[in-house]
Amino acid sequence: MQKRKLGKSSLEVSAVGLGCMGMSFGYGPAGDEKEMVSLIRSAVECGITFFDTAEVYGPFTNEQLVGEALAPLREQVVIATKFGFKLDPNGERRWVGLNSRPEHIKQVAEGSLKRLEIDAIDLFYQHRVDPDVPIEDVAGAVQDLIRQGKVKHFGLSEAGVQTIRRAHAVQPVTAVQSEYSLWTRDPERELLPTLEELGIGFVPYSPLGRGFLTGKISENTAFDNSDFRNLLPRFTPEARKANRVLVDLLGRIAERRGATPAQIALAWLLAQRPWIVPIPGTRRLERLKENMGAVAVELTLDDLRDIDNSASKIKVHGARYPEDLERMTGR
């Protein structure tokens, strides 16, 4: 597995990471714990060193899973987790708002350290920007944790470029995580140029369009009632049918390159910048290996031009989030 550095930082990780959220949250019933532990350990054996989780995934259960799986392999891996949500005080397993007050950030860090069974969090992201807390205070709180040796690197998720600049001026930001794929290209306008200027790495989540760009989902696919894709405008049957043209484009390039649509989607992302590290998620070993295979797919300039020219004529149907969740991005 090739390695990449996140921006100008010293943080080096596998060129493709593993998003662990879907193993226990968001995409229907949680996977079998023993099977998921085995999958995470298999990922390390295959060369993946970068694992992404968050307090709110579950809540808590995903961090516990990742902690158990990686405890015997700690020296070989980089673990990223996140803070910033307010969890239901009545014990319900859900979030009820945002909370990035410094004292809360420090409480979350302590909980994450215990659940992940680690002495220091390698990369600690603010999950969503809290409009009620100045980003300078957030960056200062993480800086305190870095000085205490409890956190190694600071990250932001779905932040706007001005927020990134303000945070970076207080505590250097190692990585920004946002959704980015062939059907979500908003980061190209302002975010990528800003990260390049500041020397910050980029970690695209949902690089396979929440599974859609693999070609395995059609307008007739039925999701479990607890699958959050049921709430996303881009996943209505009508939108899926209209967006199939993107999968057809990936399939055409995949046939030319002897690869799969998923591998082309990931290879396209990797070709955009040398400091981009996508984190596709999966519950299946064969899909994990397929995703890793994208690193070996070398798209030519003609391939990249073909993809860009064709994609520029395709209108993506449906917003990526409902309005209430969309408002929490780009702040």
Strands 85-87 and 151-157: unpaired
To the nearest whole number, what is the mean pLDDT of the chain? 97
Q: pTM for this structure?
A: 0.98
Ramachandran bin of 109, using left for φ above 0, alpha for ψ from -120 to 50, beta for the remaining angles: alpha
Amino acid at 174: T
215 contacts: CB under 8 Å, gap ≥ 6:
247, 250, 251, 260, 261, 262
Q: What is the pLDDT of residues 145-176, one digit of tens each?
A: 999 999 999 999 999 999 999 999 999 999 99
Q: What is the pLDDT of residues 4-63, one digit of tens each?
A: 999 999 999 999 999 999 999 999 999 999 999 999 999 999 999 999 999 999 999 999
In whole angstroms, give the CA distance from residue 81 to residue 79: 7
Would you place residue 89 in the very low, low, confident or very high pLDDT band (cuts 50, 70, 90)? confident
> Is there a contact between 86 and 125 (Cβ–Cβ < 8 Å)?
no
Please give the pLDDT value at position 210. Answer: 98
Cα 110 from chain centroid (whole Å): 22
Lookup: tokens for 194: 């800003």
* E strand spans, 132-291: 151-157, 173-179, 201-205
Determine which one of 27, 57, 125, 321 is catalytic.
57
Distances (CA, A) of 95 to 73, 85, 88: 31, 6, 6
Lookup: tokens for 266: 């990931």
CATH architecture for the domain at 3-326: Alpha-Beta Barrel (3.20)
To the query of whether residue 57 is one of the catalytic residues in this protein, the response is: yes
Q: What is the pLDDT of residues 205-216, one digit of tens each?
A: 999 999 999 999
Query: Domain limits of the chain?
Result: 3-326
Cα 82 from chain centroid (whole Å): 11
Q: Rounded to a whole number, what is the distance in angstroms from the first to the last CA of the chain?
A: 35
Lookup: tokens for 123: 């990369």
